[in-house]
Amino acid sequence: MAWELATFPAGLMGKVPPLEHVDVEVVRPGEPVRITHVLDAVEPRVRPDGRAAFPVEGTAGEGRTNRLEGVVVLSCLDFPAEERPLHEQESLVDMAGPGAALSPIAEDTAVVLRFRPRAGLGNEELEASARRTTLVVAEELARPTLDAEPVEVERFELGPVERELPAVAALIQLSDLGPLYYQYLYGVPVGAAGLPRAIDPAELLDGAVTCGEYHWAALRNPTVVFQRSALVHALYREHGQRLRFAGVVLMRGYEQSAAAKRRAAEAAAQAALALGVDGAIVTTDAGGNSHTDVMLTCRACEEAGVRTTVIVAEMADPEATGPGLTDWVPEADSIVSAGNAEELVPAWTPQRVLGGDTLLDGTPAATAGPIPVRNYFGATNQTGQLALTATTW
């Protein structure tokens, strides 16, 4: 399978469609702006052949897709009530100040959509509407590229490799923990999408996976992190150089029983083995429960003869020594740390706040003191997107 990604300048961005119950603002990188209650970030994409940019049927990662470079649509929503099961966490993007260094979208112009909930709608209904609207806006913003010439076209195709190189897969964990904790594969919550499943790596880059998971902001893998996956891009680059990129396996995190967790881990290992791999890079979404899933997956892979490197974030109390991992198995002898989500980011005073003036804990967003990394959107996302790491002091 071959897929082309054509890049266009941000200047082609079209008029933002006026949406009911949505405030729209455009913020540039470096502006002294704090954005609160952030749900997701999506890169504007459109397909010249008319197929959906975020397909719910058919296959992504074929033909050509146009992208707007350096732009993301950022959705924000303060859910009106704490209905169980729902414990959405504060989620911030700082466009400047010390928090900007933690952001996966620090260099992007953000089209900020603040959804104003209409009275009487439940959280799940609001979430679905916000998520769909965000994807539609992302597609609309990219539409002007259809009449323009790209500045770059990248081709993603895994050709045959002549040399004897180690075969490597990316084993990507996706969350399904109930409403507001879903990631979606072709529009279906991943728990119902038949995981584990091997997909062409280009499908991941091309909108097959979208995010509706609003747990820990820092440990979240938003849609843009899949669209721009540093891991998949790096594996394509290394294909035929230092390794043979054997594919992507999507697996589910947040299984709800010990037996289901073991089964999911073993099935993921078998799916990786079926690709004929020597090694796998295992990524994580969210924390706690899902860290047990990732460790069990690591163990199952190693037992199946697949060597693993695991990417996880740490949650180490800044004032105490001790492990920052929720779970660990001795087989996990090769771990990349995506940083310590518990560390505090120094206080910073923005000139403007978008998304909502008050943080979920009741403090004013403009004058909040030091805020933990865990509240910074995507800051310690566990797919290897960013350079943040933790070292022992």
Partner 1 sequence: MRAVHYLNQFFAGLGGEEAAETPPTRLEGAVGPGRGLDGTLEGIEIVATLACGDDYFAEHEEEALGRLLELAGAERPGLVVAGPAFGSGRYGYACARFSRLVSERLGIPALAAMHGENPGVAVAEGKVPIVPTAVNVVGMRDALPRMAQLAAALASGRELGPPAEEGYLPRGFRRNRLAEQPGAERAIDLLLAKLDGDARSEVDGGFDRVPPPLPVPDLSRARLALVTEAGCVPQGNPDRLPAIRAQGWLRYSLAGERSLAAGRYESVHGGFDVTLANEDPNRLVPLDTVRALEEAGRVGRIHDVFYTTTGNGTPVAASTRFGSEIAAELREAGVEAVLLSGT
> Which residues within the stretch 287-316 sit at the binding site for partner 1 (CB under 8 A)?
287-289, 307-309, 311-312, 314-316
Q: What's the rounded Cα separation, in Å, for the pair 222 and 101?
A: 17
Determine the residue type at 32.
P
217 binds partner 1 (CB under 8 A): no
C-alpha 141: how far from its chain's center? 20
Q: With binding defined as CB under 8 A, does residue 233 bind partner 1?
A: yes
The residue type at 304: A
Which tokens go with 366? Answer: 């403009």
Q: Which is nearer to partner 1, 121 or 328 (CB)?
A: 328
Binding region for partner 1 (CB under 8 A) out of 11-19, 71-79, 105-113, 321-329: 321-329
Residue closer to partner 1 by CB (options 48, 166) is 166
Compare residues 89 and 129 and give the one whose CB is closer to partner 1: 89
3-state secondary structure labels for all residues of 214-266: CCCCCCCCCHHHHHCCHHHHHHHHHECCCEEEEEEEEEEECCCCHHHHHHHHH
Quick one: 13 or 217, whose CB is closer to partner 1?
Answer: 217
Q: Say whether residue 242 binds partner 1 (CB under 8 A).
A: yes
Rounded Cα distance between 388 and 379, Å, is 8
Stretch in the footprint of partner 1 (CB under 8 A) among 24-32, 52-60, 229-237, 349-357: 229-237
Binding of partner 1 by 386 (CB under 8 A): yes
List binders of partner 1 among 42-81 (CB under 8 A). Answer: none
Q: Does 371 bind partner 1 (CB under 8 A)?
A: no
Which of the residues 115 through 174 are near partner 1 (CB under 8 A)?
Answer: 166, 168
319 binds partner 1 (CB under 8 A): yes
Task: Give the Cα separation of 199 and 169 in Å (integer).
Answer: 11
The answer to whether residue 363 forms part of the interface with partner 1 (CB under 8 A) is no
Q: Restricting to residues 7-36, name those near partner 1 by CB under 8 A.
A: none
* Comparison of 15 and 321: residue with beta carbon closer to partner 1: 321
By CB under 8 A, name the one of 11, 18, 50, 84 that touches partner 1. Answer: 84
Question: How far, in Å, are 33, 135, 170 from residue 115 at the CA level?
Answer: 18, 14, 35
Note whether 194 binds partner 1 by CB under 8 A.
no
Using the structure block, give the residue that is written with the tokens 């959107």. 377
Integer Cα distance of 227 and 151 in angstroms: 18
Task: Measure the CA angle with vertex 337, ends 331 and 343; round to 5°.
Answer: 130
Q: What is the CA radius of gyration of the chain?
A: 20
Contact 248, 198 (CB under 8 A): yes
Q: Which is nearer to partner 1, 112 or 294 (CB)?
A: 294
Residues 338-357 touching partner 1, rule: CB under 8 A, are 338-340, 342-343
For the segment 251-280, give every residue that binds partner 1 (CB under 8 A): 256, 278-280
Our finding on whether 243 is near partner 1 (CB under 8 A) is yes
End-to-end CA distance of the chain: 47
Q: How many residues bind partner 1 (CB under 8 A)?
A: 71
Q: Which of 2, 274, 304, 329 binds partner 1 (CB under 8 A)?
A: 329
231 forms part of the interface with partner 1 (CB under 8 A) = yes
Contacts of 47 (CB under 8 A, 6+ apart): 53, 63, 64, 65, 66
From the CB of 82, what's the least distance to partner 1, in Å?
Answer: 9
Q: Shortest gap between Cβ of 261 and partner 1 (angstroms)?
A: 12
Q: Please tell me the distance from the alpha carbon of residue 185 to that of residue 200, in angstroms, as a whole number.
A: 13
Is residue 252 within 8 A of residue 264, CB to CB? The reply is: yes
**Minimum Å distance from CB 18 to partner 1?**
36
Residue 39 in the binding site for partner 1 (CB under 8 A): no
